[in-house]
Structures are given as structure tokens and as C-alpha cells.
Structure 1
Amino acid sequence: MGSGARAVGLITLLCSVVVMTPLRSVPVAAGSPGRPNVVVVMTDDMSTAELEHLPHVQELLVRQGRTFDEYAVSVPVCCPSRVTMLRGQYAHNTGV
């Protein structure tokens, strides 16, 4: 390696160190306060009438959270519908 290439490499290294050093001293926030806390609960073969037998779940999730009463799926079959929800893709793209 010639002295010109060595000088360019050294300058690049020094510039990288100068740019990266302030980034190490910036504290990282534990969590973004503006982002919502989302919990998705998926059950199989369960009607809303069965929540009467689960009062704590009903209190914590339904009354304090958000429900989607008019939710529709693109595939009525159980397994492809779950994969569609988890992957965010249509069933014909998931391979299930």
C-alpha cells in the first residue's frame, strides 16, 4: 500500500472516530413516550360470551383497552387467518 492510500485510510479512520465519539455519550431513552403499548390477543374458537367466565381478563383487556367489534379477515380458515394476522401479509403470500 502506498503512502497516499495509507494517508487516506488514516484520515478516514480519524474522521470516523471524531463522528462516532459523541454518539457514545448520548444517553439512550428507555422507551419512547409517544409510542403506544400494544398487546394483541388472538384466541381460537372463542366467543365474547365466554369472557363472562374470565372477569379479570375482561376488566384488564376489554374495559381498559381497545376492542375491534367489526374486525374481518381475508381468509375464513383458522390457520391461514392467524398467519395473515401475525405476518401482515395476505394468505396467498404466506405459503400457508
Structure 2
Amino acid sequence: MPNQPNIVFLFTDQQRYDTISALGFPHVISPNMDRLVNEGVTFTQCHVTAASCAPSRASLFTGQYPHVTGILKNADNWTRSWVENLGEAGYHCVNVGKMHTWPFTTPCGFHERHVVENKDRFLEGAEFKDDWEKYVEGRGLEKQKRVLYREREDYGESLGAFLWELPEETHSDFFVGN
């Protein structure tokens, strides 16, 4: 496939518009995203199709609105996406990070998935440990979870927001980056 260009899609989760320096926000240091903005294509007038991540992400991966995909909440079944079309055209498709597909193991056309779903909410029948959780547990640690935060005495004063207390290299962002 030497004549075909490489294609890289970055779908960030809960990223505000003003978190990339190259888009005019110098208070943020984002050299890697800046390079992608300067050397790639950036869409600056975008809106999501749904208020929660899986329906919105499914729209990006199908080109359809949630009422057409049938994915109206995070635990609705995924079926096809345009990733299958890339695979059929000879591309090797890899997913790194969070997709929130349901069931979690749905391939969605990817040949490889390095999953960091960061699930810590209860979904019936959703016993699933992603690659990141296995990595953390493999180091004899327990992944920080909301349920553990709620047990803390300072939960109320902290508004449920806490610093990462495990070794830095075990944070999900480092895991995905590595």
C-alpha cells in the first residue's frame, strides 16, 4: 500500500476548544497537537450530535445521527463503522484509547485494539478489564476508581476531584502515550 497516504484520526474525549496553543490559545503548551494542527487538517466549527460520548462517537464513526445508528446511550450495541471500509481498502486499522463500544470487545473494524475504556461505573453484565487496568494490576496496584474516591473523608470538600496518587507512569494518559 505504498501509494496510499497514512490516515490518523484523533478523537479526543471531553477536550475544550481552547486547549491547543496553535489554535490561538498560548496559555496551553501542546507541541504535539500544535504540529498536527500545522501539518494536518483541523476542523474548528464542529458540534457533537449527542450529549454523551458513545452516541457522539458512533456518529463520527458512521456519519449518521444517533437516532439512525440506534446508539442513544453508552451501553447500546455498535455494529459497523467506516473503519471496515478502510480495512477493505488495504489499511491496517488500530484503535488506541477509549471508544466506549458496546459490548466492550466489539472490534468496529479495527485489526488491533489497545483499549483504555477507563470504566469504573456499573453496567449490568459489563465485567471487563481493559488493557490499562491489566497493566496497573500487573504492577500490584489497584486502579483509582470513583467508588474508592467516595470512601474518602475529604470527598465532599474535594468535589470528587483528586490527584493521581499512583506512580505517574501508571496514569492512563501515560499508558496511551507509551
Q: What TM-score do you get using the length of structure 1 for normalisation?
A: 0.52
Which of the numbers 42, 45, 65 marks the counterpart of 1:90?
65
Structure number with the higher helix fraction is 1
- For structure 1, the 5+ residue unaligned runs are 1-29
Structure number with the higher strand fraction is 2
Q: Does 1:78 align with 2:53?
A: yes
- 2:42 alignment partner, SS class: coil
Partner in structure 1 of residue 31 of structure 2:
55
- 1:50 alignment partner, SS class: coil
Q: Where has structure 1 moved over 4 Å in runs of 4 or more?
A: none
Alignment of 1:12-23 (within 5 A): none
How many equivalent residue pairs? Answer: 64
Contact 2:58-2:66 within 8 A present in 1 as well: yes
- For structure 2, the 5+ residue unaligned runs are 21-27, 72-178
- 2:9 alignment partner, SS class: coil
Q: What TM-score do you get using the length of structure 2 for normalisation?
A: 0.31
Q: Does 1:46 align with 2:28?
A: no
Which whole-Å CA distance do the structure 2 matches of 1:73 and 1:50 have between them? 17
Structure of larger gyration radius: 1
User: Considering only aligned residues, what root-mean-square deviation do their CA atoms show, in Å?
Assistant: 2.2
Percent identity of paired positions between Structure 1 and Structure 2: 34
